[in-house]
Structure formats: C-alpha cells, structure tokens
C-alpha cells in the first residue's frame, strides 16, 4: 500500500497524522472514506486488537456496547453494536457481520464487515487491511493500516449526519491506533491473548477462502 501513495501522502503519514481520502460513489449520497495510518505495533498485533470487537466499547468513540450474536464459521462473527447518537436521538443499534480473511501474503491481514440491519442507515460495507511497515526490531515494529468504509444512508436523519461521518471515521481509526499502542506498552498479556485467538481463527480458514 505504501508504494501506491504519493510522496506528500507518505510524508503526512510519517509525521504521525492520518491520511484521509474521500471517494464519491455513484448513486450514493455519502462518499467512501478511506483512512491510512501508521501504528507502532506489528501487523498481527494491530489486526488482533481490531478483531476483538467486544473490546470496542472501551476505546471506540460513542460505542456503548457490543454483543456477539453468533459465529456461522470460526472466521465470521455477527455482533450487535449500540452507538450513542448526537442531538438527543435514540441510540443507533445495528448488526454487523465481520469476517477475517486468510493471509495471501505473510504478515498481511484483512478484515471486512457488512452491516445486515440498522436503525438509521440502509447498510455499510468496509474493510481494514494491515501490512508490515519498515524493517524495525521487535521493539520498533510498525504497521500500515488502511480503513475503508461506505455507508448507505437510509433516513432523513441519516442525511443530517453526513457532516459528522468524516470526523467519526477519523476518530475511530485514531482510537484504534491508540488502543493498539497502549496495549503493547501497558497490557501485553491482553495483546498476547488477542493474538492467540486471532491466529487460532485464521488457522481454521480453508485455503483460498
């Protein structure tokens, strides 16, 4: 992913800031938001924290709760999320199917999601791709995250929230980055557990899936 970015974009990421790209999508009122960010952790560690969706209420802005509903396959999780809404609106409750994909390239991880039903939107699809970055030692490992999400608004209220969507995506990626780096420093036991669980799931994925 790094080589596909311009020198200006690479410089922005190297300074510790997120790179945000908006892409207009034909027939959809909201753009697709893609956020890149460098994280001070290995690609496996970064993916493991994100895959642990039950931890989201601890660090994701406005996420009140996450309840696992089922797992059709070990590498697929369906969960119900409750988010706090602005302007005294009722909470957003949605169900998302999250899937982790087998590694085509060693050290590269990808997790995709698809919202099955929600209160305010018709749907949402996206993915997180994580690649190793640089050649640092174990203590200096870094990874490059690319978080991409497209929301299909469904109601007039959802339309009013368009202006907030960009900020929420950026804040969520920053929060994920902070959580990964914080666990690596202050809670390595939790990080090791998350890593073990993710690797167990990945080993169960049929080849080519």
Summarised one tens digit per residue, pLDDT across range 40-57 is 999 999 999 999 999 999
Residue 54 in any domain: the answer is yes
Q: Which residues of the chain have pLDDT under 50?
A: none
Residue 51 in any domain: the answer is yes
CA–CA dist 53, 198 (Å, integer): 12
Per the CB < 8 A criterion, the answer to whether 64 and 83 are in contact is: yes
Residue 152 in any domain: the answer is yes
Residue 190 in any domain: the answer is yes
The residue with tokens 């590694």 is 103
Residue 89 in any domain: the answer is no
Q: How many helices and strands in the chain, by DSSP H and E? A: 6, 8
3-state helix, strand, coil in the chain (%, to 5): 35, 35, 30
Residue 76 in any domain: the answer is no
User: Which domain, by its residues, includes 42?
Assistant: 2-61+101-113+120-203
pLDDT digits (tens, 9 = 90+) for 76-112: 999 999 999 887 889 999 999 999 998 788 999 999 9
From residue 53, how far is each of 77, 94, 99, 105 by CA, in Å?
9, 14, 11, 24
CA–CA dist 52, 146 (Å, integer): 18
What pLDDT is stored for residue 119 in this prediction?
87
What pLDDT is stored for residue 115 in this prediction?
97
Both tokens of residue 17? 């800031």
The residue with tokens 């956020």 is 35
Q: The CATH number of the domain where 167 resides is what? A: 3.30.530.20
State the total domains in the chain: 1
From residue 72, how far is each of 69, 76, 78, 79 by CA, in Å?
10, 6, 8, 12
Residue 95 in any domain: the answer is no
CA–CA dist 67, 21 (Å, integer): 31
What pLDDT is stored for residue 134 in this prediction?
84
From residue 139, how far is each of 8, 142, 192 by CA, in Å?
27, 9, 15
From residue 55, how far is each of 92, 105, 158 by CA, in Å?
18, 27, 26
What pLDDT is stored for residue 161 in this prediction?
74
Residue 209 in any domain: the answer is no
Strand partners, 40: none
From residue 67, how far is each of 9, 54, 77, 180 by CA, in Å?
37, 7, 10, 21
């Amino acid at each position: 992913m790094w080589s596909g970015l311009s020198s200006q974009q690479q410089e922005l990421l190297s300074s510790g800031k997120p790179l945000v790209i908006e892409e207009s999508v034909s027939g959809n009122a909201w753009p697709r938001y893609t956020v890149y960010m460098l994280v001070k952790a290995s690609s496996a560690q970064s993916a493991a924290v994100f895959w642990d969706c039950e931890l989201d209420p601890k660090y994701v802005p406005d996420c009140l709760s996450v309840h696992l509903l089922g797992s059709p396959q070990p590498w697929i999780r369906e969960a119900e999320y409750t988010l706090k809404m602005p302007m005294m609106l009722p909470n957003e409750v949605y169900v998302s199917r999250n899937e982790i994909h087998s590694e085509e390239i060693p050290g590269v991880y990808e997790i995709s999601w698809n919202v099955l039903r929600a209160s305010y939107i018709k749907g949402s699809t996206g993915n997180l791709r994580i690649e190793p970055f640089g050649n640092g030692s174990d203590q200096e490992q870094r990874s490059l995250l690319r978080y991409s999400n497209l929301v299909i608004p469904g109601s007039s209220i959802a339309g009013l929230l368009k202006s907030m969507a960009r900020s929420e995506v950026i804040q969520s990626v920053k929060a994920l980055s902070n959580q990964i780096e914080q666990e690596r420093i202050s809670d390595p036991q939790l990080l090791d557990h998350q890593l073990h669980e993710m690797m167990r799931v990945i080993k169960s994925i049929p080849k080519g899936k």
